Structure 1
Amino acid sequence: MHHGFPPAKDGQGPIASRKHADGDSVSVRGSIDGILPATVRPPVAQPASFQRTESNMTKIALVSCAKSQHTQPIAAKDLYTSALFRASRRFAERFADDWYILSAAYGLLHPDQVVAPYERPLNTLTRSERQTWVDEMIEQSRATLPLASEVIVLASTHYAEGLVTWLTERGHNVILPLGTLRIGQRIQWLRQQAQPNQDQ
C-alpha cells in the first residue's frame, strides 16, 4: 500500500523510522520543503496516487489556513477561499475520518467552528512568536487528536515545522503527501486525488 510516494530507485521507500519513548517504532513518510526528517527522500516530480491505509488507525488530516478569506464570520471550512485550501479540504473530506485547520490566529480549528476573518500571516511572526504558536498548537493537538492515529499533513513549512516533530515523537504515523511540490502542483495533485473515480 502506498501513500503518494514513488519508491526510490534502490527499492527503499521514503520512510524514516524513529524510536518512540515506549520503544515502539514510528515513521514519517514524505517531506515538507525538506524540513523533516532530513533522511527522508521527498517525492520526485509528481507523487503517485494516494491510497488510504488498511490499518485500523483513525485518519486525521491537518490543513493549513489561507490568506484569502470571506469578510464575515462563517464556519472555518468555508472561511478560506483560496484554490489550495479548497483542494486540500476536498482531499481531507475524502481520505480522512476527521480533519482540522491549522490557523495562524485560532490554532487548531474544527471545520464547523464559526470564526471571524483575520490577518495574521504566520511567516511574519518573530521566532519567539512562532514558537509560542507551535506550543499552543501542540497543547490543542494533545487534547484533540486521538493517540496512535494516522495524521496526514497538508501544510507548508511555516505550519508544519515543530508540530510534525511533536506528532512523530508522540507516536502518530505522520504522512506528508505533498512533498516539495509548488503551490500550483499541489493544487493539481490534490484535485486529481479527490476525483470520485480515483482509486483508493
Structure 2
Amino acid sequence: MKRICIIPCGAKKIWDVSKEAGSQPAHLVYLSPLHQRTKTYAQTFFDDWVILSGKYGFLHKDDIIPANYDVTFGTNHIELITEEQLRRQFYEKQLTAFDELVVLGGKKFRKVIDPLLLDHQHANYPLAPYKGIGYMLKAIKEATESGTELTAHD
C-alpha cells in the first residue's frame, strides 16, 4: 500500500520573524508549533508528505512560496484555493498514486480532502478524536518520540 502524509501549513511564517526573507521553499516557511510537530511526524513515518495550504493547495517541500499570506480553509477569503484547483493539483502532483492519505489536521480538512479521493483511495484522520491543539501537539510528540504511529481514524 502506497501512503502519503498531508500536514497543515500554519499562520506563523518566516516573514513574521524575518521580513526580508524573500521567497522561500515551503519546508522553511511555516513556523507554527503544529506545523513543526506534524512535519517531524511526517518525516519520521513517511517517505512522502505534502503541506496543505489554504492559498497554494498541495505543496511539496521545495515548492517556492513568494511572500507572506494569511488564507485559511473554512473562510471565504478571496484567495482561498478552489476545489477545482485542488483537484487539478491532486492529479498534477500525482497524489492519485497513493492508496492511503494520512491527514494530520483538524476536521475542516475532511471537507477539503474527502471530495478529492478516488475509488481506490482512503483518507484517515488520526488527530480527529483530539479536542484542541494542545492535545494534538502532545499526541504527535509522544508518537514521534516513541516511534509509534497514531491510530488511524476514518
TM-score normalised by L of structure 1? 0.62
What is the aligned partner in structure 2 of residue 125 from structure 1?
A: 76
Distance in 2, matches of 1:94 and 1:190, equals: 11
Higher-Rg structure is 1
Aligned residues: 140
**What per-residue deviation string (whole Å, max 9, x for no partner) do you get for residues 103-129 of structure 1?**
111111101222132122333316x97
Measure, in 2, the Cα distance between the counterparts of 1:105 and 1:165: 18
Deviation at 1:96, TM superposition (A): 1.4
Aligned equivalents of 1:124, 1:108: Cα separation in 2: 18
Tell me the percent identity: 24
1:194 is aligned to 144
Aligned-CA RMSD value: 2.2
Contact 1:64-1:101 at 8 Å conserved across structures: yes
Q: Which residue of 1 aligns with 2:6?
A: 62
Name the structure where helix makes up a greater proportion of residues.
2
Q: 1:99 aligns with which of 49, 56, 62?
A: 49
Structure 1, gaps ≥5 residues long = 1-56
Q: How does 1:152-191 map to 2 (within 5 A)?
A: 152-167=102-117, 169-181=118-130, 182-191=132-141
Please, which runs of 5 or more residues in structure 2 have no aligned partner? 16-20, 150-154
More relative contact order, 1 or 2 (CA 8 Å, 6+ apart):
1
Change (3 A) 1:120 1:199: closer
